[in-house]
Amino acid sequence: MAYAYLFKYIIIGDTGVGKSCLLLQFTDKRFQPVHDLTIGVEFGARMITIDGKQIKLQIWDTAGQEAFRSITRSYYRGAAGALLVYDITRRDTFNHLTTWLEDARQHSNSNMVIMLIGNKSDLESRREVKKEEGEAFAREHGLVFMETSAKTAANVEEAFINTAKEIYEKIQEGVFDINNEANGIKIGPQHSTAAGAGGAGGAGAGGAAGGGCC
């Protein structure tokens, strides 16, 4: 598919908060209550349109288990956006946000747009974290905040798309250098003239993003 931009997202947060379910809801519009534990990282992709431009969101859904922490950290680099997810029915997942945020800030580029997501908003009766607390945390750390439900799809689209809009605005403002793929943004193949440039550019992208690690 031709796209104007490709944004790399990462989804991070404690295990079991619903990261993979959010991704599945966003990419496939379905909910799968029982999900295999994510190993390392899984991928999802979807096209969205912002400002009349086709944008491919390439989403890196990381494993939340502590064991994979060192691995998943190496995937942060080169992400343009991050969804930092907690479970509103589990206070501990909210308490771990600071650690996740530090991790993300340390291992990604400073312009990365971070969206804080309180997931499982459908489970109101079991809520342990008030919406206001999430809002306050987001305000304090300069994040965008939303409560979502991967089950009912409430706010799921919005969470992914609003993040993309923020990134897009940053591109317009010149904050992101779109030519530096370490920023998690690639220019789509439709911008290149040669027919084969799409693949070639993509192949080069691996090297460029990897180079960012050093």
Partner 1 sequence: MPSSDSDDFESADEGHGSVDKKERKKRLSSSNYSDNTVESDQESKKSAGAIQKKIEEPKKKEEKQTDGWDDFDIDDNEAELKKDSQTNAANTAPSKKVENKPSDNQKANVIKKQSEAKNPIESTQDTGWDDFDDWGDDDTSKNDPSSKPQPTQQRQPEPDIKAVTDRLAEASNKSSGWGWGWGVDSLLSTATAGISTITNQVSQGISTVLETGIGAPDPEELARRAKDNESKPQPNRSEEPQKTENDPNAGDAFQLGSLLSGVTKFVESTGTKVIAGGLDTLETIGKKTMEVLQDGDPGLAKKRAMLGLDAGDKPVLSQVLREAKSRADEEDRVKEEKREAKEVHYENLFDDFEGLVHLEALEMLSRQVSMRIEERLRSAEPDKRQDIKETLQQVAELCEMPEEEDEEEESEDISKTEAFHERLLAATRDIGVKLQFQSLVKQYTEALDWLSADSATEKTVYKRAVSSLAQATALAVEVYHKTAEMLLVKPRRSTADESDALTQMTVVLTKHISELATLFTEKLNTLETENKDQVNIYITNIFLEAGNSSTYIQNAFQLALPILQIGAV
Q: Among residues 32 and 95, whose Cβ is nearest to partner 1?
A: 32
Separation between Cα atoms, residue 188 and residue 202, nearest integer Å: 9
Q: Among residues 66 and 140, whose Cβ is nearest to partner 1?
A: 66
Q: Which stretch binds partner 1 (CB under 8 A): 15-23, 25-33, 66-74, 124-132?
A: 66-74
β-sheet bridge partners, residue 153: none
Query: Which member of 37, 47, 67, 175 binds partner 1 (CB under 8 A)?
Result: 67
Q: Which two tokens stand for residue 94?
A: 């909210």
Q: How far is the CB of 130 from partner 1 (least distance, A)?
A: 35
Q: Which stretch binds partner 1 (CB under 8 A): 9-17, 143-151, 152-160, 199-207?
A: 199-207
Separation between Cα atoms, residue 184 and residue 116, nearest integer Å: 19
Sign of CA dihedral 50, 121, 59, 82: positive
**Residues between 26 and 55 that touch partner 1 (CB under 8 A):** 39-41, 43, 45
Separation between Cα atoms, residue 69 and residue 114, nearest integer Å: 18
Query: Which member of 32, 49, 53, 74 binds partner 1 (CB under 8 A)?
Result: 74
